[in-house]
């Protein structure tokens, strides 16, 4: 007796179930990859937002350090104006322009002059060793941020700015005369109104470093 053959209809459902499982597995893998990509994208976005927040903190700290540097200059102007004619290395103050100054410490010229932002005699800076490493004055601020400022008087040489050989840029309406009426508005003496007695320009370079080695460098020009 010949055995009965399996009807073709009996094999169809089995083949269909196997194909459905294969497509389901491919779909699951695709969805898993999409989920992993989404998670990584969210993590990257969160990291970027965190870095922007740290960057903003260092910018605010640099602004605060600039304010402290201006207060230091104002105090010296009031108590010992002649003292600003001399370089004060321990205070991070230079009474004359520094040729080759590299404020961001990213230059590669062998004659560049770097600022010791990390208080390690410029050993941690990239590139060749600088021709000179100038100290900056440190200020510890909030949120574990350290800022250092470096002040340069924009004069060709140290000493009094009234010396004939010393070239110090000034505003167009500036005068080197020291007077007790400085900043005064007096309607009884209209000739004095509109004139101003200002000192030389000062360049304030600030570098603030915060979390995750976030760094901000700013420069400000001021006069009094």
Q: How confident is the model at residue 191 (pLDDT cuts 50, 70, 90)?
A: very low
Q: Is the pLDDT of residue 181 over 60?
A: no
User: For residues 127 and 179, which has the higher predicted lDDT (pLDDT)?
Assistant: 127
Mean pLDDT of the chain: 78
pLDDT at 51: 60
pLDDT at residue 114 greater than cutoff 90:
yes
| pLDDT at site 68 | 93
Over range 139-166, report the average pLDDT.
87
Residue of higher predicted confidence among 167 and 139: 167
Average of pLDDT values for 164-189?
64
State pLDDT tens for residues 21-62. Answer: 777 777 888 888 777 776 666 555 555 545 667 678 888 889
127 pLDDT band, cuts 50/70/90, is confident
- Does 140 have pLDDT greater than 70? yes
Percentage of residues in the chain having pLDDT higher than 90: 31
Arithmetic mean of pLDDT, 93-116? 90
pLDDT for 97:
94
Strands 93-94 and 132-135, by their bridges, are unpaired
Which pLDDT score is estimated for 84? 92
Domain ranges of the chain: 11-222
For the cut 50, the answer to whether the pLDDT of residue 194 exceeds it is no
């Amino acid at each position: 007796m010949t055995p009965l053959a399996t009807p073709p209809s009996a094999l169809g459902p089995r083949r269909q179930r196997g194909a459905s499982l294969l497509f389901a597995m491919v779909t699951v893998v695709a969805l898993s990859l999409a989920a992993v990509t989404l998670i990584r994208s969210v993590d990257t976005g969160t990291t970027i937002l965190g870095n922007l927040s740290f960057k903003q903190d260092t910018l605010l700290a640099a602004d605060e350090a600039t304010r402290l540097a201006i207060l230091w200059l104002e105090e010296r102007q009031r108590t010992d104006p002649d003292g600003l004619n001399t370089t004060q290395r321990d205070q991070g103050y230079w009474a004359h322009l520094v040729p080759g100054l590299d404020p961001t410490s990213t230059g590669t010229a062998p004659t560049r002059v770097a600022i010791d932002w990390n208080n390690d005699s410029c050993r941690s800076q990239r590139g060749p060793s600088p021709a000179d490493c100038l100290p900056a004055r440190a200020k510890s601020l909030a949120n574990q941020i350290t800022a250092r400022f470096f002040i340069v008087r924009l004069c060709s040489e140290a000493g009094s700015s009234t010396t004939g050989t010393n070239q110090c840029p000034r505003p167009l309406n500036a005068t080197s005369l020291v007077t007790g009426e400085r900043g005064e508005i007096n309607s009884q003496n209209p000739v004095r109104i509109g004139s101003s007695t200002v000192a030389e320009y000062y360049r304030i370079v600030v570098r603030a470093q915060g979390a995750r080695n976030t760094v901000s460098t700013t420069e400000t020009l001021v006069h009094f």
